[in-house]
Structure 1
Amino acid sequence: MTTINLSIEKRAYTEQETAAYIGMSRSFLRQSRMEGLRTNRTDAPPFIKIGRSVRYLKEDLDRWLDNHTKLEHLAQEGGCRV
């Protein structure tokens, strides 16, 4: 008898797993999902609904993280005013 060991990498994350993966709070995910795109707010990562469950795909999260501007210092963003 042969035992098959399947190593499956998870593709769809729960809200809690997503918050840990991207380093943001669950409340950020909930608020950004409900509010949509608003001025001066970080956009929500893409999500899917399966029934009543919300899931985030790993490839969408990676793309979302990559698309945010990397800053050397706050003055690049215009957030540091003297």
Structure 2
Amino acid sequence: MDKQFLDTNEAARYLGLQRTTLEAWRCRGDGPQFVKLGRAVRYRQADLDAWIESRVRQNTIGGEAA
């Protein structure tokens, strides 16, 4: 995927998540950054990749990224 902006379905597929998971996180202010273009929600692939990197952990009890 080398599109600059991904819609919610594409972003969910890219992350291996359900669309509803991304929607719920967005409502709570969790998850990756997104862009509002009018009524449309879009995700930049670079933001998805950065969010993935921020989630890297050494163990399951929290702590700092690897």
TM over 0.5: yes
Alignment counterpart, residue 77 of structure 1, candidates 50, 57, 60: 60
Gaps of 5+ in 1: 1-8, 37-42
Gaps of 5+ in 2: 62-66
Quote the residue 1:63 is aligned against: 50
* Percent of pairs with identical residues: 37
Aligned length: 61
Which deviations, in whole Å up to 9, do the C-alpha atoms of 1:30-71 show, x marking residues without a partner?
Answer: 1011112xxxxxx31100000000000010001111111245
- Structure 1 stretches of at least 4 aligned residues deviating more than 4 Å after TM superposition: none
C-alpha distance in 1 between matches for 2:55 and 2:27: 20
TM-score by length of structure 1 reads 0.67
More helix by share: 2
Find the residue that maps to 2:42 and give its secondary structure. strand
Whichever of the two has the greater Rg, that structure is 1
Quote the residue 1:5 is aligned against: none
C-alpha distance in 2 between matches for 1:60 and 1:30: 16
Quote the residue 1:44 is aligned against: 31
Superposition RMSD in Å:
1.6
C-alpha distance in 1 between matches for 2:32 and 2:17: 11
TM-score by length of structure 2 reads 0.82
C-alpha distance in 2 between matches for 1:77 and 1:70: 7
